[in-house]
Amino acid sequence: MTDLLLRDIDPLLVDRIRRIAVARGWTQHQTVLNLIEKGLFSSEYEVRSGFENPEVDALSEAIAALRELPAGAGF
């Protein structure tokens, strides 16, 4: 499994993670993994809401292509 290092985390966020870990009886590692997974599921649901898989794939490809474009001069 890949390691992930998070820097400069807001102390309030760390405390919220700690409180969830204590409430669930999980280690900090287990808690962070669970929160990331649940957050990803939630975010993916929001993105996919109302779209079929081919539409989501096309949108993702379009966004990726736009990110590859050089920065413009602005407006």
| Coil, strand or helix at 32 | helix
| pLDDT score at 70 | 82
The residues, any chain, with a CB within 8 Å of residue 52's CB and separated by 6 or more, are none
> Terminal CA-to-CA distance of the chain, rounded, Å?
44
pTM to 2 decimals?
Answer: 0.57
Give the residue, 70 or 22, on which the prediction is more confident.
22
Share of the chain above pLDDT 90, in %: 40
| pLDDT score at 51 | 64
Helix axes 11-24, 28-48, angle to 10 degrees: 100
With tokens 């985390």, the residue in question is 9
C-alpha angle 65-52-49 in degrees, rounded to nearest 5: 95
